[in-house]
Structure 1
Amino acid sequence: APKTPTPAETDKKPAQAGGSKTPDTAAPQQPAKAQTQPAASDPNKKTAYLVTVKTGSALGAGTDANVFITLNGDKQKIARHQLEKPESKRNPYERNSKDDFKFNEVDVGQLKTVILEHDNSAASSGWFVDFVEVTYNGTTTKFPVDRWLDVEEDDKKISLELEPNKKPASKKIKAAKEVENGEEEKNSITSSNSENRSDESSVEKNKNNEIFKDEDAPKTPTPAETDKKPAQAGGSKTPDTSATQQPAKAQAKPTTSDTNKTQTQPAASDPNKKTAYLVTVKTGSALGAGTDANVFITLNGDKQKIARHPLEKPESKRNPYERNSKDDFKFNEVDVGQLKTVILEHDNSAASSGWFVDFVEVTYNGTTTKFPVDRWLDVEEDDKQISLELEPNKKPGSKKTKGGKDAPKTQGGVQYDVTVTTAKKRGAGTDANVYLSIFGDKDKIERSHLKETVNSSMNLFESGSVDRFSINGVDVGKIQTIRIAHDGTGMGAGWYLDSVEVRHVSRNEISKFPVDRWLDAGEGDKKISLDLEPDKKPGQGKSDDDTSDEENEGNIEDEKVNFDEKQQHKA
């Protein structure tokens, strides 16, 4: 037999090629391939991150908008991670506060830049940031900010790319015209930021923590790929083969099973894409129909939400909301998708705030949706509401008392919007009667029966449901506590309550009350009435077997008496 194997033998069975040296050479090559296999899973290895955000001490520095951070490393990228639940469990991004956020994600390697941004979704979205710190793998990197992220301040940016230990520039507006054209500037900034984010890295992370190549990434091999295979740079044909093979391997995972995921990658920047809106508001012809109050609209879509956008400068440049007038308002905002409902409201801030509205029309993406109103938004008329949730082509109800007379007027009356969320779990709903009391530093509203939602839903407090109510009463001042209770009637009285939210409509002050527990005479501490403080989750201790509902009610009455005594002492 020949001492050297033929090419066919080498291709088919190198280990059986006869010569003693050939098997020795082939043997170490096989384990070598096996050793490189684990490297493919390294990008999925999780690393613990701590992100610290310091909000400034300037007046109004805090924000209620949603905040996101992007980490750009020399190996990988963590795109638009939401920073929403700080370790302190308190409300984040308050003035002069420092918030810590922990999460586990892929190791980005050496951190080059971060992108800090918010979505401008709240009424008070403007945010002054002092700095951001990112700690992982035993190293802390600081990113100074010391500026506003606000569509009405500085250069109107709400997204900033930051470098380590380098303060970003802040472009001051020099002329009033730039302020007036701020919306156009914001659009160009957002578009520019979106393009920058797309071009910064060729590697993106999908929902299953798989690493794949971005559609906008350069087709040439990355420096890391070049470093891995320097030995193939010799012959004229060899580099060509490796250059085509290397991107093919990088694309192998998404093209076989994740083609759709690769194609949807640019959609990550879609939420920032701006859409032109035209909102038309028709004020009625009734005597005194106009208003001088500030008017806001919220657009609720199936994809996104535009929260409490002010309608203040009509296209006609005239004073808006006069009797029998029609006012057009144009603005550019995120695409909400298919429009489900709108919320029209005013803040009752003027001497003549009562307003009779005929209808609202919203036009965008070539479609106009009409929302009939045909009623008062007035604390002294009808059901005293100044905030209405409207459905397309459906006239809202107007609650009259029997006999056709208006409901009795409430001295100093204000409107509260109450949102009650029932937990999404088996048996969480209740058929009992539910009551809410609101206690403030000035006054109180006691035992208001939550029985009719703003959209007239029939089945209340079902598992996973979100029920919205409107309460009209005295201005209690700053809300200190609320009492949520049910009367234990009905077959399924036990209730697992997730949360309660109370909004003072005219001031747009929102108080959130987490619950996450049973109100059930047969569960836990057997309570069916809870006193809650803002942003403080109540405990649920196990009570003794002899604890009765009567004792619980007695404790509640004692608390009520203590509150009354405090109010008398203040007086």
Structure 2
Amino acid sequence: QKCMFMQGSETAIFPFEGWLARSEEDVHTYTVTVTTGDVYGAGTDANVFITLYGDMGDTGERKLSKSENSNKFERGSVDTFTLEAVDLGQVFKIRVRHDNRMLSADWYLEQVEVVDQDTEEVFLFLCERWLSRKKEDKRIDRVFYVKVLIPYHFSVATGWDWDAGTSSRVYVIIIGKKNKKTDRLWLDLDGKNGFLPGSLDYFICYGTDVGDIKKVEVRENTHTDSVVCIRKQTSDCWFVLSVRFVFPCKCWLAKDRGDGLTACFLDVKDAETVSIPQKMIYEVTVITGDVQHAGTDTQIYMTVFGVYGTSEEMLLFERGQKDTFNLEIEDIAPLRKMRVRIDGSGSRPDWFLDMIELHNLQTDEVALFMYEEWLSRSYGPKRTLLCEMPAVINDEEMVEFTTYTVSVKTTAGTDANVWMIIFGENGDTGTLTLKESNNTNKFERKQTDTFRFPDILSLGELSKVRIWHDNSGLAAGWHLEYVDVHDDILGKKFRFQCDRWLAKNEDDGQIMRELACANSDNSVGVHNSPICNPFYFHNGTYFQVKQNIKWELNGWKSVSV
């Protein structure tokens, strides 16, 4: 609109009043209707700001200043604002905040409706939350997701024939009951070459929720004479229903091949369905301690443990990013604990972590993970780059700290270095080094070595251990009889029977074993299959190892045979 330059008492203004856009057609008008809740003290006198996010960009932060109401954001009121911005495409989330100014700053936001006046599309955001420093979780900045759009995840496998690929654009339409369908979901790779022969390409598209899926239409945009052959699985779609559909296709999309059609309809009745974990959106707040040199530019990683599983290790934020952000995490709640590690890189590798807050934006549950200590090789009493924190929900600590006493009975000794990981209801311990024993010379023939690991979050009922060595030393081969693990909090001992070699030149040549618990409700029987070499898949191909492969699946209630 204008540029302003100030030097001393002199001000220069350069009016512009125009868009930086390729054409006027790129500029859209958005009507934003804000409904304030009808509860006591719901209105606010603070300044309110909003950011709209679409699949083609965002508006940047805008102040909601001009409403048809002279007094904005009053209790039970509806205020309408007009924003101009470049075409955002499908609006899927908004960020709303206020500056907490004036006497009555607290605000209860009911909902926000965004209408694209150019396309007449309506996007509804149900909020029903306080933006307040005094109420609820004391936040004045919130992110909300549209209720009518959901993410669809696709993987597309192209055939292996030399001319199977295509340079044409491909789109998918999801069809539900009563022929309710999404718009065209374009499978684009942001400038990269997709649909090459033998390739496996992944896409995320946002579309309307059609409910129960009935059919999927796959169509090539035939502006060229290119062809595409889709074999094996056409698409894996992760829906709110937490179901994956695998469609066998094995057909050409081409005018001069197969049946001459450039589209195919895939019926859910013909698809293989697989239940998968539902993704939950968490707002993550990382608080760094208020001590000297507390900040860091190192890489920070997080793993979350819940009753129903463990998340993948996630990079929290790269250098320079904000300390509040959103993450998609598998639905493993109720949460039990969190593991955080840093890699010690950067010019400021030390970090004083105060706490991390996970706010589930769908269930509104808040879990706190408090550490209040250094992650550092140079500062603090622990001198560690890794920590585990119990989840605190509604002022209740979900997991207690315990001491694990590990007893290892050796039949034939080893000079190698030994490590282990303990698994249980609440995840795993991470890697434990079996270093400081009650015996000076560890792992000798017919000897029992005892190791203590204090201040470890209890895993509850144990299910298995993984134990291995590095094959170092003159006498590396090791015959292990059993491992006992005692949990001080539970007052219970768990036995893991082995009776096998961990040696390159004995038995099956394996130096790593997984041992199921022999006396826990979480496992049945004793199984100690080796860790085997897997098949490696890449771009739809696989490489098969020559050795015989043995598979063992460990569940909470049983072990496969």
What TM-score do you get using the length of structure 2 for normalisation?
A: 0.32
- If each structure's helix is expressed as a fraction of its own residues, which one has the higher value? 1
- If each structure's strand is expressed as a fraction of its own residues, which one has the higher value? 2
Please identify the structure whose Cα radius of gyration is greater: 1
